[in-house]
């Protein structure tokens, strides 16, 4: 594989991070505006084939995978039911994203996860928040499909500032396809924001998802209009 070109960090982000006794560099990759007409394998080949090195791990935003699967839905195409409007009122809004805090995103959570699961998660979350003052139980119970739903924010790139983006279908399978196209490089599909995140899928069984989350915990791809939905993780070795 060819030696990568010089790289720069996104504004307010650092390229390097220490995790345990290891040091890693995170390389953000700028792309064109990804749309549903794009093929995710073609996107990966276009922007990565001349940049990756042996031992690298590619991390790809779950959002662009979902967009290429046609899972970005215009707000005006979503008609929230009264239950979605009611539940959305009690979701905590954050600067990192609206999550299920609007009727349209909550409606899609009800469709994706089922009414019973969302109601159960809401009841348990309310109880544990009142009694134990513990947060986060709603998403733990609702599951990864609910966590992966993205609503528009002020920093969202148009036209997705008027869309709800669902989580990707079969992230493990997508990661494996991208890995195969890139000659076997390790690939993960990540759901990371400025408050944390998780790994939705990976191409190899030996990838340590917990370590990857730690490497990406400061969200090196950015939260706004950086247009860098793909990145490369490269370990900095002592002899490099």
Between CA 219 and CA 194 the distance in angstroms is 6
Between CA 235 and CA 26 the distance in angstroms is 9
Q: H helices then E strands: how many in the chain? A: 9, 8
The bridge status of strand 196-202 relative to strand 186-193 is: antiparallel
Residue 68 has a pLDDT of 97
Residue 4 has a pLDDT of 45
In the chain, % of residues over pLDDT 90: 68
Residue 195 has pLDDT above 80, yes or no: no
Choose from 6-10, 56-60, 122-126 the range with maximum mean pLDDT.
56-60
Partners of 59 in the β-ladder: 188, 231
The bridge status of strand 196-202 relative to strand 22-29 is: unpaired
Between CA 79 and CA 38 the distance in angstroms is 27
> How far, in Å, are 18, 24, 26, 137 from residue 237 at the CA level?
12, 9, 14, 39
Q: Which two tokens stand for residue 77?
A: 């195409």
| Mean pLDDT for the chain overall | 90
Q: Which residue has the higher pLDDT, 164 or 224?
A: 164
Q: Which residue has the tokens 């917990």?
A: 210
pTM: 0.88
In the chain, % of residues over pLDDT 70: 92
Specify the DSSP class assigned to residue 154.
T
Residue 3 has pLDDT above 60, yes or no: no
Cα end-to-end distance, the chain, whole Å: 16
Q: CB–CB of 98/151 below 8 Å?
A: yes
Q: Mean per-residue pLDDT for 113-131?
A: 94
Residue 2 has a pLDDT of 44
Q: pLDDT of 64-104, one tens digit each?
A: 999 999 999 999 999 999 999 999 998 876 655 678 989 99
Q: pLDDT of 4-46, one tens digit each?
A: 455 677 777 789 999 989 999 999 999 999 999 999 999 999 9
Residue 224 has a pLDDT of 64
Tell me the domains of the chain and their CATH numbers. 16-71+169-235 (3.30.1330.100), 74-165 (no CATH)
Residue 1 has pLDDT above 50, yes or no: no
Residue 188 has pLDDT above 50, yes or no: yes
DSSP string, 55-97: T-EEEEEHHHHHHHTT-EEEGGG----HHHHHHHTTSPPBTTB
Q: Which residue has the tokens 């990661």?
A: 175
Residue 6 has a pLDDT of 58
Answer whether the bond into residue 159 is a cis peptide, omega within 30°.
yes
Would you call 19 helix, strand, or coil by DSSP? Answer: strand
Residue 136 has a pLDDT of 81
Q: Name the helix (H) or strand (E) containing 129.
A: helix 115-131
Between CA 150 and CA 220 the distance in angstroms is 18
């Amino acid at each position: 594989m060819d030696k990568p070109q010089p790289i720069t960090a996104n504004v307010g982000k650092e390229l390097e991070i220490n995790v345990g006794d290891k040091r890693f560099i995170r390389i953000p990759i700028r792309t064109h505006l990804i749309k549903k007409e794009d093929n995710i394998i073609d996107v990966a080949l276009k922007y990565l084939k001349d940049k990756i090195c042996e031992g690298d791990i590619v991390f790809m935003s779950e959002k662009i995978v979902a967009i290429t699967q046609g899972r970005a839905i215009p707000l005006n195409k979503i008609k929230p039911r009264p239950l979605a409007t009611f539940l959305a009122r009690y979701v905590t809004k954050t600067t990192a994203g609206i999550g299920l805090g609007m009727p349209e995103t909550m409606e899609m959570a009800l469709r994706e996860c089922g009414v019973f699961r969302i109601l159960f998660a809401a009841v348990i979350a309310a109880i544990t928040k009142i009694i134990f003052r513990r947060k986060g139980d709603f998403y733990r119970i609702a599951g990864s499909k609910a966590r992966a739903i993205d609503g528009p924010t002020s920093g969202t790139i148009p036209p997705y500032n008027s869309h709800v983006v669902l989580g990707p279908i079969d992230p493990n399978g997508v990661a494996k396809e991208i890995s195969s196209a890139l000659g076997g490089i390790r690939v993960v599909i990540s759901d990371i924001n400025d408050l944390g995140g998780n790994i939705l899928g990976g191409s190899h069984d030996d990838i340590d998802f917990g370590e990857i989350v730690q490497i990406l915990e400061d969200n090196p791809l950015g939260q706004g209009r950086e247009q860098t939905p793909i990145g490369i993780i490269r370990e900095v070795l002592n002899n490099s």
